[in-house]
A and B are shown apart, each in its own frame.
Chain A
Amino acid sequence: MEITAAQALVQCLEKEQVELVFGYPGGTILPVYDALHDSAIKHVLVRHEQGAVHAADGYARATGRVGVVVATSGPGATNLVTGIANAYMDSVPLVIITGQVSTGMVGTDAFQEVDTTGITMPITKHNYLAKDAAQLPRMIKNAFYIAATGRPGPVLIDLPKDMAETKIKFQYPETVYLRGYKPTFRGHPNQIAEAAKLIAQSERPVIYAGGGITSSRSSAELLALAETINAPVTNTLQGLSSFPGDHPLFLGMLGLHGTRAANLAVTNCDLLIALGARFDDRVTGKISEFAPQAGVIHVDVDPAEIGKNVPVHVPIVGDVKQVLQELLPRLEKRTDPSWLEQVSTWKQEYPLRYEVEGMLKPQYVVEKLDEITGGQAVVATDVGQHQMWVAQYYRFRRAGGLISSGGLGAMGFGLPAAMGAQIGLPGEQVILVVGDGGFQMTMQELGTIVEQQLPVKIIIFNNSVLGMVRQLQKVYYEGRYTAIDLKFNPDFAILAQAYGIKGYTLRSKEEVDTLLPQALTEPGPVLINCLVSAEEWVSPMVLAGKSISEAIDC
């Protein structure tokens, strides 16, 4: 029996066990919406397409499944761009279906036509323009495979309206055929043996674990590695929550706003074991002084990351989980305490600290959150100072507990991402920590949260400024504050109430102590507007061009 390509598409999604899609309709994508009408797949109507991609991103990070987005051509597609770039930079698996004008109109500057595949070429792992309806099922099969395997990432399919309406003989391919795409899963055995040797010889090893641990779900292997060889562990922002935040071997985050202990350990180590991390500039600081005495073992599923920024002594291309599983049996238990003693001296000497006196301190709120939730919540953040305070003060004890925009650093990510995470994890506590600036970039999604009855707890660190930019202006521009004032903020608690969401305003430590635990146990969504001091700085901080061992206090 022949069905339309749009109907076939929906059946393909069902075959891929897609439970829901995030989307926003429009003219050219209507055939797909019409096909969704008859499907068990749930459609979550967002309030802006950016919200759809970020929500799918949050959903994918929280569940480990591919997030699916549907949007129309032209403005629908362009509204997706930030979210696609975000998923690309943080390696999040998404499949995005966009409508396109009919093939006869392509290239004529037709109404709501943009070159979607052209625009998204550098920010997708791969993309397709479906010019042949019969090929659509094959494209979708490939898209899911490409998105989820190897280094995950977003894949886009641009579907012209006439193709969507074309009748095809539907058959979903069983296998994937892609001769140009063959990710390596197993690390080379000789390299793994070499790594084991280097580890056995090292005296001062440090494990530097990134987002690859989270996306390959290998926290257990990471923990086993650290405990076997007794090596301290530092995380990148994307890696946070892949190692227990209260573990004695944990150093905290490294890099620009990393702990001094982490940065000193990396600077002084003789072996750096990089796992699913990419030596990003926010991590390395002055690259020539990054881990200057260290041999480097680098495990990554993406060969292009290995040797890109620093020379590597033992490169291992492969899925970090599989590589660790093969490496672990080759390792001897290490017990020499002297390096760990040195590292704990640094930890004691340079703890993270802030003044508790005066106005409500954002760091205090994070500490309180950590205490109330026992580090077990899924915490989404936006981008800015609050994000760094979450990274520093929340001691993640749930693997995959942090959902944050790292590579792109896209304000507006937090609220829709938290929404997507909560949809993916219905029974779990999902908390959003967001700045008053970033919240206002995507706050329209409050409507979606109410509609979907999502019990997300939204905590705004309301300092009435664009805090992180203000911090940069303090440090680099002699405090000449420009364009950072948000004094015309609305009353966010009342705004929440307008949506039917319970709103709290917390002004002091005491109010946080009494009301925060209560707010977090409300059954539905809650917005908690914390009026915090603007005179707080993310500290320590590594200045531009400096070694990470030379952080300053802010």
Chain B
Amino acid sequence: MLHTLTVLVENSPGVLARVAGLFSRRGYNIDSLAVGRTEDPEVSRMTIVVDGDDRVLEQVTKQLHKLVDVIKINDITADEYVDRELVLIKVNADHSQRVEVIQICDVFRARIVDMGRKTLTLECTGNHGKINALEETLRPYGIKELVRTGKIAMVRGTKNTGYQDIGTKEEN
């Protein structure tokens, strides 16, 4: 089963290598990993999608916790959350196909961000399923190039899996 973890880490050099190294060394399967800064420049947030049963997930979480640079882990799989991926797709769209591709774009609320003589480049955000659907729909036209970010996620409502409740320097 796929689990979505949000992991707050110290924004220190090597932290990505530590996390990635831990996953590969212990044979855990990463489905996707996205990382970037948070509201605090000293803290980064990773959204990691991991494949495994409950026992594997327990180990993943415990082993991640052992990394000194890992501040906080939340498994939000069972929570209500918003998740997004971003995709850029360069798709064949010569004169005869252009209109159709633009219509597809509208349906998926994708945006055209660049135009070539025979191609269009689209940008789309959405959850995993929506991005997959867009990709499948465009495939028959011939996808020249495609890049997806990993998934990022945030719990709905006021519940907070962010930085505020991890304590500040002064408290520690």
Contacts and interface: CB of A to CB of B under 8 A. Distances in A.
Contact of A304 (B14, B55, B59, B172): B59
B27 interface: no
A126 interface: yes
B128 interface: no
A523 interface: no
Contact of B172 (A122, A178, A303): A178
A329 interface: no
A304 B68 contact: no
B17 A308 contact: no
B25 A129 contact: no
A302 B59 CA distance: 12
Interface in A86-134: 117-118, 121-122, 125-126, 129, 131
A307 B169 contact: no
A181 interface: yes
A177 B172 contact: yes
A180 B66 CA distance: 8
B144 to A, nearest CB: 35
Nearest to A178: B68
Given A117-B14, A304-B63, A307-B58, A122 B21 contact: yes
Chain B interface size band reads 20 to 34
B10 A121 contact: no
A180 B58 contact: no
Given A118-B17, A121-B21, A181 B62 contact: no
Contact of B67 (A117, A179, A180): A180
Interface string B14-52: 100110011001000000000000000000000000000
Contacts of B157: none
B8 to A, nearest CB: 9
B140 interface: no
Contacts of B18: 121
Contact of A303 (B13, B55, B65, B169): B65
B166 interface: yes
Contact of B71 (A118, A129, A180, A304): A180
Interface in A256-314: 302-304, 307-308
A536 to B, nearest CB: 38
Given A121-B17, A121-B21, A122-B21, A180 B68 contact: yes
A157 interface: no
B120 interface: no
Contacts of B63: 304
A146 interface: yes
B70 interface: yes
Interface in B130-172: 166-167, 169, 172
Contacts of B17: 118, 121
B22 to A, nearest CB: 8
Most A-side CB within 10 Å, residue of B65, B167, B169 = B65
Nearest to A305: B62
Contacts of B62: 303-304
Contact of B66 (A118, A179, A302): A302
Nearest to A121: B21
B14 A126 contact: no
B68 A121 contact: no
A181 B172 CA distance: 11
Contacts of B55: 307
Given A126-B68, A146-B68, A179 B172 contact: yes
A181 B13 contact: no
B73 to A, nearest CB: 10
Interface string B67-103: 1111100000000000000000000000000000000
A304 B66 contact: yes
A304 B71 CA distance: 16
Nearest to B166: A179
Interface centre among B9, B71, B167 (most CB of A within 10 A): B71
A308 to B, nearest CB: 6
Contacts of B65: 303-304
Nearest to B60: A304
Contacts of A307: 55, 58
Nearest to A146: B68
Interface in A163-184: 177-181
A372 B168 CA distance: 58
Contacts of A131: 13
Contacts of A125: 68
Contacts of A126: 67-68
A304 B13 CA distance: 25
A131 B14 CA distance: 12
Contacts of A178: 68, 172
A122 B25 contact: yes
A117 B67 CA distance: 14
A181 B65 CA distance: 8
Contacts of A129: 13-14
Complex A-B, nearest 4 residue pairs according to Cβ-Cβ distance, in ascending order: A304-B62, A126-B68, A180-B71, A181-B68
16 contacts: A118-B17, A121-B14, A121-B18, A122-B22, A125-B68, A126-B68, A129-B14, A177-B172, A178-B68, A178-B172, A179-B167, A179-B169, A180-B68, A302-B66, A303-B65, A307-B55
Interface of B: 9-10, 13-14, 17-18, 21-22, 25, 55, 58-59, 62-63, 65-71, 166-167, 169, 172
Given A180-B10, A180-B70, A308-B59, 4 more contacts: A177-B172, A181-B68, A304-B65, A307-B58
Interface of A: 117-118, 121-122, 125-126, 129, 131, 146, 177-181, 302-304, 307-308
